[in-house]
Structure 1
Amino acid sequence: MSSIIIQTAGIKDLETIQNIGRQTFSETFSENNSEEAMKKYLEESFSTEKVQSELNNPDSHFFIAWEEDNPVGYLKVNSGKAQTEMQDETSLEIERIYVKKSYHGKKVGQLLYDQALETARSLQKSYLWLGVWEQNERALNFYRKNGFVEFDKHIFVLGDDEQTDLMMKKILE
């Protein structure tokens, strides 16, 4: 495997973000959700209008992990009013670390997380936070290994199914 490069993404990367987002979300969650619910979620969450709006938001930052010319994952972080919930000026939300299944275990997620940490520090944030599905053991273990602790829960609705996300945070030194 050649080395992975993390690059800042912009509006020119809209289609790449859509494709990685759809593929990785599907790979991770399709076996636990109905085909209809997944189709609706993917269409809405990765529509051109929604992704374009997110990419144009100055409080959201996207980074793509590349192996040569192949995009293998991406990171989306939010500050200020772009945060999905808390909107604390001292925090940075990790909204998405999405890595293609074929790259799991190859440290791509860690590289993207390190980019989130670097972004939080450059923006002088006090802590990172995120929500992760309570049954996504792989992600929970990853975040715990990186020093995150649970502090709350919230409901994530996919189709007609209410799922519980654990809210986790990491205080930055």
Structure 2
Amino acid sequence: MTITIKKCTLADLRLLQDISYETYNETFKDHNTPENMNAYLKKAFNEKQLEKELANRSSHFFFVYFNNDVAGYLKVNMNDAQSEDMGAESLEIQRIYIKTNYQKLGLGKYLLNQAIEMAIERKKKNIWLGVWEKNDNALSFYKKMGFVQTGAHSFYMGDDEQIDFIMSKTLAL
């Protein structure tokens, strides 16, 4: 078993788009209408949007490979790229997505640890993320990894307003 990580570049845009559609759809399609899913996927993962995110120096994408197969990805944001104003001492994990057939292999923990290492290297005191209030698996995982709920915010899936819990972890520097 070999797990590796690779920073995404603009040259990876198509692969990033494909894995974004696949993992997001696998995770949320059973809980949302097809219309709302399609609206969100088109807005969040269109070529222009991903190109803009990849070009932002305060955002970083990483693919995780399991035995040379792309199994998932991580997106982190700092500074003004954060989806909420959490300040310069914080790093946001905006996305950790693992393909269904690669779940339960420790890849989510691997990516989470990558984000924590990045935060520590950059002297960030906090790491945070938003997770859908009904995503019990993710909530359980983050709690197990030492995150606590510190707030909530609205998230729109198409025209459906949903609630994301904001979960945070203070880092020991």
The TM-score with structure 1 as length reference comes to: 0.96
Letter in 2 for 1:169: S
Deviations 1:129-155 (A, max 9, x none): 110000001100111011000011111
1:74 aligns with 2:77: no
Is this contact kept in 2: 1:40–1:159, CA < 8 A?
yes
Q: Deviations over 1:3-51 (max 9, x none)?
A: 1111111111111111111101100100111111111111111111000
SS at match of 1:7: strand
- Which residue pairs with 2:40 in the alignment? 41
Counterparts of residues 158-173 of structure 1 (less than 5 Å): 158-173=157-172
- Counterpart in 2 of 1:23? 22
Following superposition, the deviation at residue 160 of structure 1 comes to 2.1
Structure 2 distance, partners of 1:160, 1:41, is: 9
Deviations 1:75-128 (A, max 9, x none): 000000000112410000000001001111011101110100111011110010
SS at match of 1:58: coil
Q: Is this contact kept in 1: 2:2–2:68, CA < 8 A?
A: no
8 A Cα contact 1:79 1:87, kept in partner: no
- Please, which runs of 5 or more residues in structure 2 have no aligned partner? none
Q: Name the residue aligned to 1:124.
A: 123
Q: Pairwise mapping of residues 1-173 of structure 1 onto structure 2 (< 5 A)?
A: 2-173=1-172
Whether the 8 Å contact between 2:58 and 2:78 is mirrored in structure 1 is: yes
1-structure distance, mates of 2:3, 2:26 = 21
Aligned equivalents of 1:14, 1:157: Cα separation in 2: 24
Which has the larger displacement, 141-150 or 61-70?
61-70
**Alignment TM-score, normalising by the size of structure 2:** 0.96
Aligned length: 172
Runs of 4+ in 1 over 4 A off after TM superposition: none
Unaligned runs of 5+ in 1: none
CA–CA separation in structure 1 for the residues paired with 2:158 and 2:55: 27
Distance (Å, rounded) in 2 between the aligned partners of 1:76 and 1:159: 21
CA contact (8 A) 1:81 1:87 kept: no
